[in-house]
A and B are shown apart, each in its own frame.
Chain A
């Protein structure tokens, strides 16, 4: 896959402190445009804290964080307009229909009604969900909700989309389908920043970083890391680091 060299996310010496607890300890990394960047780590390693800072939900204690060319501290709104976010809860409004959810999220990003209407139609066709466009979200299976949640997160064509454990609780086949969607988004030029604790998914990423106890312990392509740690797969890499 051809890579561009422009950095879309730049993090330098990021520290996040909660009282005496150091959640993020001097993180430094870059993510390039169009890349699928895997952000791995055990539960409690500090992944969610970092993703919250990158997406403007939380402020860093110190350090430099640049997303889509804007400083998260000083230009928070610029950052927000250029990113999408999907949480592990696939947050959609259960009591709204598929179409209403898409409309609503399009609306809060300030897209015009005409554009939303056109794009919703395209999207529903692509997802083969035209039949269920007026069903309530609560009536849909988890895999479908996940797809809709992702489509909604990139509906406004963000430069970066943050996915916080987007495949939790979903069966392997649906997970596979979901990664297809991630590739499609990356091909369309959207940078994907994804956290996961499924190590097989790490193999799908262009580059991964592995966090442990608030620090980044390893960073590189899956092939590089496997070579470096003399491991057959990412699972082993991870176990060697976490030990």
Chain B
């Protein structure tokens, strides 16, 4: 046990003495969560919109004025027919189009209820969501101040349609996604690099010649990173909860347990990478290209998986981060329990076992 503690202590020395490692470990998670967070939570300003007014009466004119004078929107294109809507989006001149149906004011007076259609370009899901919410708020405000306060019980119902990404996947995506990315990076990349470093420097040979068994060597190398990853995860959850108001509707303990499982999976992956690479460079490149990029692109973190070609969707199924993101979203947003996410949990656990088994096998081959 004494040997083991000495080993872990040594590993912490490595980490704390290398400012680059420290920067990756603690600077990056905070920077990333803040960047992603503020990109999402930023207020909107001067968004280009188009208006298709098929009625051109005093009510639609008043609403149009209210929207354009709000400071959030700029009327960049007057659209004259339904056909031009799609075109305007494709040209990228507008992010949102508001459509007033014909005889808007008449219908409002006659039936008391009228619909206004809000079409948003949801390829950027976050902006689309915000833009349409602002528009709805302005219209509701108009109804209250200009109509209801004068004793007119009229309703204008905004119908929001998201173009290109109907379900608005992507909102609240940044916290689970960043968490997956950072845990992957810290656990898998840092572990593989630190083991590869021992090989490169020749110290691994010395360790293997010593009476220390391979298992304690690996565990001793992994424990510090496990601890630091877990601290990181808590940091990210705390930041997203306190700074960005991301809810934690499910059990916090369950959330942390799932996070631990994911960290464990990433560590086993890191060990596997280190068994096939002989230098730090090699370990880093494998981690970069085999882990980071796919984690960012194929896990549903940035691009919705549903919109991908089928072949890429299959690839996505191989990404551990995909399942982790589903689990985290379920727990944090929907408040799901283990009953909902047991399948994803099993997949991650299975991957962990697989990576560990592969590493042990590779390790043995090397010794022969």
Contact = CB atoms under 8 A, between A and B. Distances in A.
Interface of A: 55-59, 77, 80-81, 83-85, 87-96, 100, 103-105, 107-110, 113
Contacts of B203: 91-93
Contacts of A85: 205-206, 209
Interface string B200-222: 01110111111111000000000
Contacts of B17: 95
A110 B3 contact: yes
A58 B3 contact: no
B111 interface: no
A110 B213 CA distance: 12
Nearest to A86: B206
Contact of A100 (B2, B3, B10, B368): B10
Nearest to B210: A108
Contacts of B82: none
B209 A56 contact: yes
B211 A110 contact: yes
B206 A96 contact: no
Contacts of A84: 209
Interface of A is mostly: loop
A104 B202 contact: no
B368 A59 contact: yes
A85 B206 CA distance: 7
Nearest to A103: B6
B13 interface: yes
Contacts, number: 74
A58 B368 contact: yes
B201 A104 contact: no
A83 B208 CA distance: 12
B14 interface: yes
Query: Which are the 6 A-B pairs with shortest beta-carbon distances?
Result: A107-B6, A89-B202, A91-B202, A85-B209, A91-B203, A80-B211
A87 B367 CA distance: 17
Interface size class of B (residues with CB under 8 A): 20 to 34
Given A105-B206, A108-B211, A96 B10 contact: yes
A71 B80 CA distance: 91
Contact of B13 (A57, A88, A100): A100
- From B7, B201, B207, B209, residue with most partner A Cβ within 10 Å: B209
Contacts of A90: 202
B211 A81 contact: yes
Interface of B: 2-3, 6-7, 10, 13-14, 17-18, 201-203, 205-213, 367-368
A58 B2 CA distance: 27
Given A103-B6, A108-B6, A57 B206 contact: no
B10 A55 contact: no
Given A85-B205, A91-B203, A104-B7, 7 more contacts: A56-B208, A58-B367, A87-B202, A93-B10, A95-B18, A105-B206, A108-B211
A93 B212 CA distance: 17
Nearest to B368: A59
A95 B11 CA distance: 10
B19 to A, nearest CB: 11
Given A57-B367, A59-B368, A95-B18, A108 B7 contact: yes
Contacts of B213: 77
Contacts of A80: 209-211
A81 B210 CA distance: 7
A191 B211 CA distance: 19
A91 B13 contact: no
A59 B367 contact: yes
Nearest to A61: B368
B315 to A, nearest CB: 35
Contacts of B206: 85, 87, 91, 105
B13 A95 contact: yes
- From A85, A92, A107, A110, residue with most partner B Cβ within 10 Å: A107
A100 B203 CA distance: 14
